[in-house]
Structures are given as structure tokens and as C-alpha cells.
């Protein structure tokens, strides 16, 4: 069910990126898509009532297998979080580049409307 | 001794980060940075040629798979590595002189090397998420390079490319997420093992669809091709050569082939989908190319058509393998596709470099305004003719052999209509390149071009280097020893299909 | 842009140090608590961005050297890659944690306990802080001094 909401967010972003005519709105649509995927990744690793996957003092002290197992069984999956962190860094880079291209295009053409920015054709 | 695989990624990365520092030291720093960048690509070329015929699995940080990240070198990766190195070497040599007209050359070189690092990473990665990361590195560098001139057309093309490219990357990321959710693995070998054990489910099928759409967008197969004819002509000429020559193949075709053949395993519908996409790209690209007046735009459309050939070869091989279980014929078709990939990366980058030479001499890209340039640009004309003959498929040149192999494979597998289509699209290619030759090099020389001079030196050297390769590449299939070193391992990787995972897991000693 | 009122400037001059220190804390303790190079670098950059917002971008251009920031940016990435190469030299494989337990022994959960990881975090922190600062500055002064592609270098966490 929650996954479906993620997918809905993804589709909203895709719609926004495909249909809108303003360059900034297209960028916003792409970012929404990106965050929908990030949310999806985070939810893959979540378990109900799970705890943060950080090893604390008490987990170190108890080297016995029982506590370790309890920790493993109760923490959420840390891998998707690492993936999302990397994906966020990447999306930051591409977002900065997209915004800068938007600004430069605005300087050249004086508009954000992609229907008016049509020097290339074919 | 095996070469440590991360060197292919780390060397260009380190140099890429050093270059802006060196370049900011003034005039001497600029030439030093150019030299350093050239040496880097040369070293990469030497390393990739040295690693021909080897196979290796490298576990980064000594973390065993599936826990850690691994890099995989097999026949297909080596083939792509060599293609990337050759084209980047030529393009780098070309840009020494060509990029003088732009400012901020160290940044250009830095982005160039970043793109090379990303492509090498994509080719070597044995981990599906790492593949996405390197894909993004290469594509972000290429977005910036397409818009490097900061003029009207370049910015517009870069924005278009960027929006579509980002959507493609997000599709790929979504696919990765779905695969992780369904198998719990990110390592390609283990994903493949898990899929073989548990079979496909709807989530994985959806992920496969997302991968096809995402990598298809990167490879500019026809329904997804809208960005390519804008982006490739707008970039500086060496970058167009890189983009058309190797970027669309590493990010698109290679990744698609790897995911479909080695990870998910082939099935009949997927092979048919690929075949349909390939044939669509071949014909539509060729038809659209004939009508163009801009040289680089014509070449860009022809790239779409040629990528169609490559995917056609690979998909045909897959189809034969699934449907007729005929390994010999399937490997013939895949050999044709992969050889065409190698050929196309050489002659299409050569064509784009000659277009850069023409453009920097005449200052225009419009074919109708040119003519008679043979007198003024004799060597450019010679290399351009060699490349055109090669792309059309005139016998002694390399393009002929790959097309011949494709046709023979299609005929022997009784797909006569595919063979006919290949020949027909070749005819269209002939028409467009005859048109190019006719308008650019033959006819009357306009008055204003009477004084132009050809660029000598490094620009010419890189073009001649690629032209010589074009002439002698045919040896790769004619001579059995060369074929056994270069092409056969790559074909075996794709034919081997799902055995990939078993190989990786045994090599890594698990 | 002249900057904001005196109140904002005064408070900024106090708060910027705290933010900067917090960023350093996040970077140094990245291997023990949530955070790390990227998050800490963003916080470092945000302290400079706060200065830019409060005092105006002319102040930033006069008092902070943008080429130096660009150099720090490259240096951070370069040292991160060098740490990986040192792993190859000393440990036999890329990114091997060659300092771990061998040269720098330490109890778990102490500051000095994770070998090369804090070093990589510092490198990433420098890289991210400098490059994010550069991105914001170049976006805000793009009319005069904008270079495409200065900041698209990728950071790997």
C-alpha cells in the first residue's frame, strides 16, 4: 500500500517533468521523481518498530550472540540508507548543474518557457 | 601479474582533480595540464591493451562479495575498455589544438577525464548500484560538456539532454531499488543466482522493463532518441566524438547487454523487444539522417541508425539462442554486433573529428554553404572518405566485415527480412554519406573559403590514427589469432549468459 | 546586495563559529555517530552561506578567496583518492583500511579507532564544504563570474 503511494509520487514527478512548460517546474518534477525513489528505497529497509542501525555502547559490551542477534533482528536495514545517501549526493550534483543551466538559459533567452526556446529543430 | 582494476577508474579521477589546480598556475600550468591529460589517456590505452585476453575479479577493500564492492574484468569489459581508451586518446589529442577557441581549458580536460573515469567504472563494475553511480558520473560530466560553449543552442541542447538523461537515471535507480527489494542483493552475480533459484516475479519483470527504458534512453534507441540529435552536434567536436563513439555504447548498449544477458537471463519476449527497438532505430535514424543539412546533425542521426545495428546483432544472437538453440549461429550474430560496436566507435568518432576540423576551418556546419573543400582540406577529405566508406560498408574497410557477418548470421538463421533490412539501411547510409561528400568536398569552392587552411599537427595526427585503424580493423575478424584475443572472449561472455554468476563466484573463491 | 540589518549581522558573527564547530564535530565523529563527511561538509558550507546572506555577496567576494575554495575542493577529492591508493600500497587492495588496529590501535567507540575512515571523512568534508559553497556563490553571482561545471564533481560517501 505504501509502495503504491511511492509509485504515485513517482508518477506525479514524471507527469510534471513531461507536461510542464516551465524549465524550473521540469526540474522540480525531476527532483520529485528522485525523492520518490529515495523514499521507496528507505521503505524497503524499514521494519515496523525497528531501531536505528547504530552500534551503541551496550551492543559492544555484550559480545554474546543473543544480544547481537537481538540487535540484528530489531534494527532496520542499513544498506538502503547508504544507497539513499549516495543517491542524494548525486542528485545534488545534477540539481546544481540543472539549475545553473536554467539560469544561463534565462540570461540568453529571457524566458523559462520551453516552447519559446526552440532554436534547434528536427 | 594482473593490473589492479580500480586503476582504470582512479587514475583519470586523480588527474581530473589535479588538473584545475595545475591549470590555475598560469600559462605554463595550462600547457602542463594538457600534457598531463594526454599522458593519462595514453597510460589508460596501454593498460587496457595490456589487459586484453585476461579476466579478473577484484574485491575492493578486501571485502568479499556479496558484502563488498567488486570490479569484474571479462572479455566484454576489456572490449569496451579498449574502445573507450582508443577513442578518448584520439579525442584528447584532437582537443589539444581544437579547444584553444574555448576558455577554461583545464576545466574541460578535467570534465573529460571525469567522463572517462565514469565510463571505465560502468564497464568494470560488478555491482548494480555502483553501475548506477558511475553512470551518473559519466552522464553528469557529459551534460556539462555538451553545454560547455554556453551559447543559445548548446544550453538548450544540454537542458534537453539533461532532463531526459536524468529521467533515465532515475528509472535505473528505481530498477535497482526493485531488484534489491526482491532479491536482497546488489551484486550482479548474486542477483543472477537468486533469480535462477527463485525465478522471476512481477517486481523483477517491472525492474527489467525500467532497465530497458532507462538504458534505452541512454543508448538513444528510437522511441527514446529525441535528445541525441540535439546534444551531439552542440558539443565541441572531440566531445561529440566521445559521446557518439563510446558514451552511448557504454552507458546504453553495454549496460543493457550485461543486465539482460548476464543478470536477468534472456527470454523470448525480451529478445523480440530488443530486436524491434533495434530495427526501428536503424530505419528511422537512417531516414531522418538523409534530410539533414547540418553535418554533425546528419552524423548524429546516423549514430542512432548504427546503434540500431549493434543492438540488432546482440538481440538477433539472443533470439537465435533462445528460439533455435543454435550456439554457433548465435555467437556469429553477437560477434557481428560487437565487432560493429568496435568499428562504429572508431569511424563515427573519426567522422565527428573531421567535422570538427571542417567547422574550425570554415566556421559553419551547414552543408549547403560549403563545397569544393577538397582543394583546401585534402587530408581531412581523405580521412573523411575513409570513414564514410567504412560506415557504408565498402569491402576492404572495417564496416564491411561487421555488416557481412550480421547479414550472414541473419540469412543462416532464416531471418531473410532482417538481412534485407540490413542491406537496405546500408543503402540509406550510402545515400547520406554520398550527400555529405558531394556537398562538402566536391563542387565549386565558394569565394570566402579560398584562403582557409587545414589544421596540421595533433588534430591531423589523431584523425590519421583513427583512419589507419579504420583500414586495418578488418584484420580483427580475418586473422584468427587477433579474433581469439579481442572478440571471442567478449562473445563468450554474452553467449555464456547466466553462467556469469557461477564464474564470478568461483573466481572470487567463495 | 548590501547585507541585512545590524541585528542579523551581530547574531551571525556569533552563530557562524558555533555552526562551523558543529560541522567539524560531525565530520570528526562521523564513524561513531550519525553524520560523516557529507553531512558535516554541508554544515561547514552553510556557515559560510550564512555569512554570505547576512553580509552580502560583495563582502564574500572581497574577503573569501573563491579560487582557494576551488583548490580546496580539488584537494579534498584528491586526498580521498590518495587514501584509497595508499590502501593499495600498504594493504594490497584499494580502500583497505590499512591503519585499522595495526598502526592505530584503539578501543571501539573511541575517537581514534577506525583507521582511515576519519581521514576519508575529513577529505570528503573539505570537498563537500568547498564545493557546495562554490555552487551557491556561483549561482548567486552567475552574471559576473560563472563557470559551468566547477561543481559537478561527484562526491562518494
CB contact under 8 A, C87 and B61: yes
Q: CB–CB of B335/B325 below 8 Å?
A: no
Of the candidates C4, C42, C21, the residue with the CA atom closest to the CA atom of residue C136 = C42
> By a Cβ cutoff of 8 Å, what residues of chain A touch chain C?
52, 54, 57, 60, 82, 85-86, 89-90, 92-94, 96-97, 99-101, 103-104, 107
Residue position matching grid coordinates 561513531: C32
Of C74, C78, C94, the CB nearest to B61: C94
Q: Within an 8 Å CB–CB cutoff, is residue B174 touching chain A?
A: yes
Residues from chain A contacting residue C106 (CB–CB below 8 Å): none
Q: What is the gyration radius of the CA atoms in chain B, in angstroms?
A: 22
pLDDT given at position B230? 86
Judge whether A81 is closer than 8 Å to chain B, CB to CB.
no
Instruction: Out of C70, C93, C150, name the one closest to residue B60 (CB).
Output: C93
Distance CA A69, CA A55 (A): 13
Nearest-angstrom CA–CA distance, B429 and B393: 9
Q: Which residues of C touch B24 (CB under 8 A)?
A: 67, 70-71
Contacts of A78 in chain C (CB under 8 A): none
Sorted by where each starts, the structural domains of chain A and their CATH numbers stand as 2-109 (1.10.287)
pLDDT of residue A57: 64
Q: ∠ at Cα A88 (A84, A92), nearest 5°?
A: 170
- Domains of chain C: which residue ranges? 6-145
How far off is chain A from C139, nearest CA to CA, in Å? 6
A63-117 confidence digits (pLDDT tens): 556 666 777 777 788 888 889 988 998 998 899 889 888 888 888 887 788 877 7
Q: Respond yes or no on whether ipTM tops 0.85.
A: yes
- B20 against B115, higher pLDDT: B115
Q: Which of B1, B33, B61, B143 to mutate to test the interface with C (most CBs of C within 10 A)?
A: B61
Residue C110 contacts A where some CB pair is shorter than 8 Å: no
Q: Residue B50 is inside which H or E element, if any?
A: helix B27-50
Q: How far apart are CA C54 and CA C56, in angstroms?
A: 6
Q: What's the gap between Cα B236 and its chain centre?
A: 17
**C151 to chain A: nearest residue by CA?**
A93
Ramachandran assignment for B185, one of left (phi > 0), alpha (psi -120 to 50 degrees), beta (any other): beta
C-alpha cell at B195: 533469480
**What does the pLDDT look like over B241-286, one tens digit per residue?**
999 889 999 998 999 999 998 888 888 889 999 999 999 999 999 9
Contact criterion met (CB below 8 Å) for B5 and B58: yes
Helices (H), B363-479: 378-392, 398-412, 416-440, 458-472, 475-478
Q: Residue B66, preceding bond cis, omega within 30 degrees?
A: yes
The string of pLDDT tens digits covering residues C81-138 is: 888 888 888 877 777 777 766 666 666 667 777 778 888 889 999 998 998 888 888 8
Cβ B113 vs Cβ B15: under 8 Å? yes
Residue showing cell 581508451: B85
In chain C, whose CA is at the least distance from the CA of B15?
C78
Residue of B nearest to C95 (CA): B61
Amino acid at each position: 500500500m505504501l509502495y503504491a503511494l511511492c509509485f504515485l509520487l513517482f508518477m506525479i514527478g514524471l507527469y510534471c517533468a513531461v507536461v510542464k512548460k516551465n524549465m524550473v517546474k521540469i526540474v522540480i518534477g525531476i527532483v520529485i521523481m528522485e525523492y520518490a525513489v529515495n523514499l521507496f528505497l528507505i521503505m524497503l529497509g524499514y521494519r515496523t518498530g525497528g531501531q536505528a542501525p547504530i552500534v551503541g555502547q551496550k551492543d559492544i559490551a555484550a559480545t554474546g550472540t543473543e544480544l547481537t542477534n537481538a540487535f540484528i533482528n530489531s534494527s532496520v536495514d542499513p544498506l538502503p540508507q547508504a544507497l539513499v545517501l549516495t543517491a542524494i549526493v548525486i542528485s545534488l550534483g545534477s540539481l546544481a548543474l540543472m539549475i545553473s543551466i536554467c539560469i544561463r538559459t534565462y540570461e540568453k533567452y529571457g524566458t523559462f518557457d520551453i516552447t519559446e526556446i526552440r532554436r534547434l529543430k528536427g | 601479474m594482473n593490473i589492479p582494476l580500480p586503476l582504470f577508474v582512479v587514475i583519470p579521477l586523480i588527474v581530473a582533480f589535479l588538473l584545475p589546480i595545475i591549470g590555475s598556475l598560469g600559462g605554463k600550468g595550462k600547457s602542463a595540464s594538457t600534457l598531463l591529460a594526454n599522458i593519462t589517456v595514453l597510460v589508460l590505452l596501454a593498460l587496457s591493451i595490456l589487459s586484453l585476453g585476461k579476466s579478473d575479479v577484484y574485491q575492493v577493500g578486501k571485502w568479499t562479495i556479496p558484502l563488498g564492492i567488486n570490479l569484474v574484468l571479462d572479455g566484454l569489459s576489456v572490449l569496451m575498455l579498449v574502445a573507450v581508451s582508443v577513442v578518448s586518446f584520439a579525442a584528447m589529442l584532437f582537443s589539444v589544438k581544437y579547444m584553444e577557441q574555448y576558455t577554461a581549458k583545464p576545466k574541460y580536460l578535467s570534465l573529460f577525464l571525469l567522463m572517462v573515469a565514469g565510463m571505465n567504472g560502468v564497464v568494470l563494475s560488478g555491482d548494480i548500484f555502483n553501475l548506477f553511480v558511475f553512470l551518473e558520473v559519466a552522464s553528469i560530466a557529459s551534460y556539462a560538456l555538451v553545454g560547455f560553449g554556453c551559447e543559445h543552442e548548446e544550453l538548450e541542447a544540454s537542458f534537453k539532454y539533461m532532463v531526459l538523461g536524468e529521467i533515465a537515471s532515475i528509472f535505473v535507480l528505481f530498477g535497482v531499488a526493485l531488484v534489491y527489494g526482491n532479491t536482497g542483493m546488489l551484486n550482479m552475480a548474486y542477483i543472477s543466482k537468486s533469480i535462477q533459484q527463485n525465478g522471476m516475479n512481477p517486481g523483477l519483470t517491472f525492474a527489467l522493463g525500467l532497465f530497458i527504458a532507462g538504458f534505452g534512453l541512454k543508448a538513444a534507441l528510437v522511441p527514446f532518441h529525441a535528445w541525441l540529435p540535439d546534444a551531439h552536434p552542440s558539443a565541441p567536436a572531440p566531445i561529440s566524438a566521445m559521446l557518439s563513439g563510446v558514451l552511448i555504447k557504454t552507458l546504453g548498449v553495454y549496460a543493457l547487454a550485461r543486465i539482460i544477458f548476464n543478470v536477468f537471463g534472456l527470454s523470448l519476449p525480451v529478445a523480440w523487444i530488443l530486436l524491434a527497438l533495434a530495427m526501428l532505430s536503424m530505419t528511422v535514424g537512417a531516414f531522418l539522417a538523409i534530410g539533414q543539412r547540418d553535418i554533425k546533425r546528419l552524423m548524429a542521426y546516423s549514430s542512432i541508425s548504427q546503434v540500431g545495428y549493434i543492438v540488432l546483432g546482440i538481440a538477433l544472437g539472443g533470439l537465435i539462442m533462445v528460439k533455435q538453440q543454435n550456439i554457433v549461429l548465435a555467437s556469429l550474430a553477437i560477434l557481428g554486433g560487437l565487432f560493429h560496436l568496435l568499428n562504429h566507435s572508431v569511424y563515427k568518432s573519426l567522422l565527428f573529428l573531421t567535422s570538427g576540423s571542417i567547422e574550425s576551418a570554415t566556421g559553419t556546419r551547414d552543408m549547403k554553404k560549403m563545397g569544393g573543400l577538397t582543394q583546401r582540406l585534402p587530408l581531412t577529405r581523405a580521412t573523411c572518405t575513409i570513414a564514410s566508406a567504412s560506415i557504408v560498408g565498402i569491402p576492404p574497410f572495417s564496416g564491411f566485415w561487421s555488416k557481412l557477418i550480421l547479414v550472414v548470421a541473419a540469412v543462416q538463421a532464416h531471418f531473410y527480412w532482417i538481412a534485407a533490412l540490413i542491406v537496405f539501411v546500408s543503402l540509406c547510409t550510402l545515400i547520406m554519406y554520398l550527400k555529405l561528400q558531394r556537398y562538402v568536398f566536391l563542387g565549386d569552392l565558394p569565394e570566402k573559403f579560398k584562403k582557409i587552411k587545414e589544421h596540421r599537427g595533433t588534430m591531423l595526427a589523431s584523425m590519421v590514427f583513427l583512419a589507419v585503424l579504420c583500414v586495418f580493423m578488418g584484420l580483427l575478424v580475418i586473422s584468427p589469432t587477433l579474433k581469439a584475443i579481442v572478440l571471442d572472449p567478449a562473445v563468450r561472455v554474452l553467449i555464456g549468459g547466466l553462467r556469469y554468476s557461477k564464474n564470478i563466484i568461483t573466481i572470487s573463491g567463495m | 546586495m548590501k547585507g541585512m540589518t545590524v541585528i542579523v549581522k551581530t547574531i551571525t558573527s556569533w552563530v557562524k563559529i558555533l555552526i562551523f564547530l558543529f560541522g567539524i564535530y560531525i565530520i570528526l565523529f562521523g564513524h561513531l555517530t550519525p553524520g560523516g563527511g557529507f553531512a558535516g561538509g554541508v554544515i561547514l558550507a552553510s556557515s559560510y552561506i550564512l555569512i554570505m546572506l547576512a553580509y552580502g555577496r560583495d563582502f564574500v567576494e572581497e574577503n573569501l578567496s573563491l579560487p582557494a575554495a576551488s583548490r580546496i575542493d580539488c584537494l579534498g577529492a584528491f586526498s580521498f583518492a590518495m587514501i584509497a591508493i595508499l590502501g593499495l600500497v600498504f594493504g594490497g587492495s584499494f580502500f583497505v583500511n590499512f591503519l585499522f588496529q595495526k598502526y592505530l590501535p584503539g578501543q571501539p567507540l573511541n575517537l581514534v579507532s577506525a583507521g582511515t575512515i576519519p581521514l576519508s571523512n575529513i577529505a570528503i568534508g573539505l570537498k563537500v564544504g568547498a564545493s557546495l559553497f562554490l555552487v551557491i556563490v556561483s549561482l548567486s553571482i552567475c552574471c559576473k563570474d560563472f563557470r559551468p561545471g566547477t561543481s559537478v564533481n561527484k562526491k562518494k560517501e
